[in-house]
Chains A and B, each alone.
Chain A
């Protein structure tokens, strides 16, 4: 089976600092991958490079056999890779439904219509369906600015799902969400994602969530991948335990932020 995403020798330097060095990753269809690592390990840099937000210093990114290394974010999205953000990227002045309708309209065409109304039955129906899949349809008419963090996260992911991506990258989907609501949120996310059949890679600090939802784990440390394999195996690796899991547990015990 050919991988849908091939990352070859990907490196990103910020001056003398190596934010990500010599990253090699293959992602296959239907995989659910957790990316773990302490703060500054290079996880978000990696996701930012794959989604076109950062230009790699060197290396190659192939998606479905096309070289997307130099693609801007909009071309990466159109190629079939979508993402959500650590801080939900929404349109706070508009309602939840309007956010979804804009997502549908903009993903439908590079040149959105200038004279056809945004609010039409078909777009509204499609938007409601996605909102329902993510259990946030009851907020449809609420302004985004008034929403709780968990709902914002779900809307952010729901909007990323609109273009039916082959690969979905979620940057810390549970960050900023109360501990007791994390599993509920991830259940909703995974339910929505699994319906689409997209491969999913999510950055996560909470090892309970990683164990429960991921079938593969990639562990980052100081800009490099130190382990990559089935969840149970990677989480038992001594280096992962020492540099990532241990640190993460310490954070949780201290009540610190998993940023």
Chain B
């Protein structure tokens, strides 16, 4: 999609979502914020996956963002929505930039296990910390908006609008990143690390950038979720939470920056309705759905959009163009 069209689509989708928010019932507003919050984390997971690395510990930054919001309100007296979310961003940026120095050296299963270990260390530390509510966590302050104290409904609506705007900005920035030399270098790295190195760039630089992006988006997602739930706990860093993010990334696909949002929406709606239908067996329903997706749409739900787009394009231009052949192509390979 040309950049201008993409920008218009993002602005229109964000405005539409904000407008729809005025007529959504409370439960759906809450669900939508949860979707956007988790999707922000999954964006980071997808960015890493596009570079051929899988983080089994993205719950680490999800939890760091949430605790940054919680601690900011509890110990620093910050109640402003923007101020708290800024804290989440800084927490993700600082922790990601430090841990990224370690993580950039690892690949494949080592990267996955290292990230898992880090998130479980945080889970253990928070679980043992009496000051931070141990395994129960603690309730966070109700946010104010630019100094104004709002009713619970209005505060939730303000968080909703903020979540929509934040998601719009992340999608816009994310798409710019994926189309940038650094974004393409990430894909190139997955294909051939040796060639990347021989083009004069350290693969570690590319991994580090990806890791930083993923840690910041996960922290923002965690902060947003904390504000929505009004409560945080160490289970946000637990391995099953990180596993859920990978599940969603596979569900949505990684071929487009908006795919995690579609994947999260599908996941949350399935889970919500599966819980209604079968409170004790909703995991089975989710498992069956994932198997279905892997078998029929191995590139995720977004591949449906991509193939539809391809069909429309080939329908417009007729048969695909043929590349002229030259002698070199003849007779080998």
Contact = CB atoms under 8 A, between A and B. Distances in A.
A105 interface: yes
Interface string A48-59: 000100000000
Contacts of A83: 198
A91 B180 contact: no
Nearest to B213: A114
A112 interface: yes
A51 B182 CA distance: 24
B201 A114 contact: no
Interface string A186-219: 0000000000000000000000000000000000
A117 interface: yes
B177 A147 contact: no
A136 B198 CA distance: 21
Contact of B181 (A77, A85, A113, A178): A113
B150 interface: no
Contacts of A85: 194
A236 interface: no
A233 interface: no
Interface of B is mostly: helix
B316 interface: no
A184 B328 contact: yes
A181 B184 contact: no
A74 to B, nearest CB: 5
B202 interface: yes
Contacts of B182: 111-114
B177 A114 contact: yes
Interface in B198-221: 198-202, 205, 209
Interface in A151-181: 151-152, 154, 159-160, 162-163, 176-178, 180-181
Given A78-B200, A106-B199, A142 B323 contact: yes
B328 A91 contact: no
A160 B192 CA distance: 14
Given A82-B198, A91-B187, A112 B329 contact: no
Interface stretch (A25-33, A95-103, A224-232, A237-245): A95-103
Given A73-B197, A111-B205, A118 B188 contact: no
Interface residues of B, number: 37
A163 B200 contact: yes
Contacts of B3: 117
Contact of A112 (B176, B201, B331): B201
Contacts of A91: 187-188, 191-192, 195
A156 to B, nearest CB: 8
A137 to B, nearest CB: 10
A92 interface: yes
Contacts of A113: 180-182
A111 to B, nearest CB: 6
A93 B192 CA distance: 10
B216 to A, nearest CB: 12
Interface of B: 3, 173, 176-177, 179-185, 187-188, 190-192, 194-202, 205, 209, 323-324, 326-333
20 contacts: A51-B198, A77-B198, A78-B200, A89-B194, A106-B199, A110-B205, A112-B182, A113-B182, A114-B176, A114-B209, A115-B177, A117-B176, A118-B180, A118-B181, A119-B179, A149-B333, A150-B333, A152-B333, A159-B195, A180-B331
Given A90-B195, A151-B328, 17 more contacts: A73-B198, A74-B199, A77-B200, A89-B194, A89-B198, A90-B191, A94-B184, A103-B199, A105-B185, A110-B205, A114-B180, A118-B183, A136-B328, A138-B326, A148-B333, A149-B332, A178-B332
Interface of A: 51, 72-74, 77-78, 82-83, 85, 89-94, 98, 101-103, 105-108, 110-119, 135-136, 138-139, 141-142, 147-152, 154, 159-160, 162-163, 176-178, 180-181, 184-185
Sorted nearest first, the 4 A-B pairs with minimum C-beta distance are: A105-B181, A112-B181, A150-B328, A148-B333
